[in-house]
Structure 1
Amino acid sequence: MGGYHSAKILLKSIDYHDIMINYGIHHDVVSTLLKNELSELIALEPDCIIICCNSLHKYYDMIKVELNTSIPVMHAVELVAKHLNSIDQRSELLLATKFTMEDGFFAETLQQHNISVTLPDQGERERMDQIHAELMQNTVTQKSRDYFASLIKKYQSSGVVIWGCTEYPLVVDSTNSVLPIVNPICLQVSAAVNYALSI
């Protein structure tokens, strides 16, 4: 837009501890927490909403009807599906938290859009979970970077790699991935910017 323009942003930060300890165990607790937080945000009448956590999109899908709002949400998984279809990419490697990979909500949405999803095996998911725990404590090591580089190389026939975890860009980027990276955060931001400029 030129000049000195910047976006007006309402940021609502949630205590992640309350979410993390209930993932995959107490779905009702997480969905209720998200519903309450989003309801407060919706009351402030933003133009659109971004949920800055991939896993929380599972719970958004569970409560979106109850929210009863016309305010658009830049849905990470739907945006990934739309992007992959736009570039005619029908297969991908999904790297995410153990919960996201094993719960299936991310992969199932992509499969509904005729996109084939490859997941690492059980042992690899366990190792990724250990690295994720380190990242949550701000521990970023070369060993972790090397592990992801080798993992992606093993599955390079997948075509692209999807970041189903918002922490993984701390250890993987274009310098150590043999596959092109699709980052849902970037897709969400682009969608929000495009929407904001269109209204």
Structure 2
Amino acid sequence: MKHIGIVDITTIGACLCANEIVAQAVKIDSSGKHPEFTMHAFSFDQYNDCIRRKDWISLANKICESIRLLEKVGADFVIIPSNTPHFAMDLIEKNSPLTVVNLIKIVADECQRRGFSKVLVLGIKVTMQDGLYNEVLSSKNITPMIPSADVCDKIEHLIRNEIIPSQINSTTVEDIQQDIQKYDCDAVILGCTELPVVYNENNLGKPVVDTTRLLAHYALKLACDDNISLKRHS
């Protein structure tokens, strides 16, 4: 199996993704065999500062530092279990010595595969309001929607101040849940890898695209497929 490199932007999302890789691998081979993986994280504030300033060049440079470290320990390809950094994906792909899986394209493909025509995108405010998914979904004739400004504020608070620091308030979760259920859409994209900690199809009452687990499943498939060639250059 190929060695998976994981760039850890937020540890909750990265660990959820890594755990799902292992859980899915066990379903294939009950002996416990799974791909080797290595995770690297700089301090979250370094990524967060770039995101707040929408400095995608600096963010790409920081992520590529992680990728070069992962390359040194033998990673064959890289995943980034975080949606927002994909605003910098073109720069990351250009400067990365390893293949980097594009989460946004995988999610759009999944929406198309499941026949969705109108989807609600959740995430931090910049992901929602700056249209991270707009172009790729529209190219597949899927209409992206985002919540109203006040709901975006609530979701931003939930992610940054409750889920990431592991201080979840059930009242906040339920309030947003009720807001989301009011939207007329075919499905909801959990466009932040921490959101599956609190939301799923059962409590939202709508089909959900879980970007964290979807990325894990794709990474496992890629790690197990000997017929796929990956780039590796200095």
Instruction: Provide TM-score, normalisation by structure 2.
Output: 0.77
Name the aligned partner's letter for residue 89 of structure 1: F
Contact 1:34 1:60 (8 Å CA) reproduced: no
1:105 corresponding residue in structure 2? 132
- Deviation of 1:39 after TM superposition, in Å, equals 2.3
For the residues of structure 1 that align with 2:104 and 2:87, how far apart are their CA atoms? Answer: 9
2:60 corresponding residue in structure 1? 31
1:198 corresponding residue in structure 2? 225
2:168 corresponding residue in structure 1? 140
For the residues of structure 2 that align with 1:176 and 1:4, how far apart are their CA atoms? Answer: 31
- Deviation of 1:24 after TM superposition, in Å, equals 4.2
Q: Which runs of 5+ in 2 are unaligned?
A: 1-28, 227-234
Deviation string, structure 1 residues 21-67 (Cα, Å, up to 9, x no partner): 22141333212211222222234442322111111122232231122
For the residues of structure 2 that align with 1:52 and 1:20, how far apart are their CA atoms? Answer: 15
Name the aligned partner's letter for residue 170 of structure 2: Q
Name the aligned partner's letter for residue 27 of structure 1: W
- Deviation of 1:2 after TM superposition, in Å, equals 4.5
Note if 1:122 corresponds to 2:149. Answer: yes
- Deviation of 1:103 after TM superposition, in Å, equals 2.1
For the residues of structure 1 that align with 2:151 and 2:52, how far apart are their CA atoms? Answer: 19
Structure of greater relative contact order (alpha carbons < 8 Å, 6+ residues apart) = 2
Name the aligned partner's letter for residue 127 of structure 1: K
Deviation string, structure 1 residues 106-156 (Cα, Å, up to 9, x no partner): 22222222211010111111121122222222111221221222122111x
For the residues of structure 2 that align with 1:85 and 1:45, how far apart are their CA atoms? Answer: 34
Q: Which runs of 5+ in 1 are unaligned?
A: none
For the residues of structure 2 that align with 1:128 and 1:63, how far apart are their CA atoms? Answer: 27
Between the two proteins, what is the percent identity of the paired residues?
Answer: 21
SS in structure 2 opposite 1:176?
helix
Contact 1:161 1:180 (8 Å CA) reproduced: yes
SS in structure 1 opposite 2:172?
helix
For the residues of structure 2 that align with 1:105 and 1:3, how far apart are their CA atoms? Answer: 39
The structure that is strand-richer by fraction is 2
Name the aligned partner's letter for residue 224 of structure 2: L
For the residues of structure 1 that align with 2:140 and 2:72, how far apart are their CA atoms? Answer: 33
Aligned-residue Cα RMSD (Å) equals: 1.8
Note if 1:53 corresponds to 2:82. Answer: yes
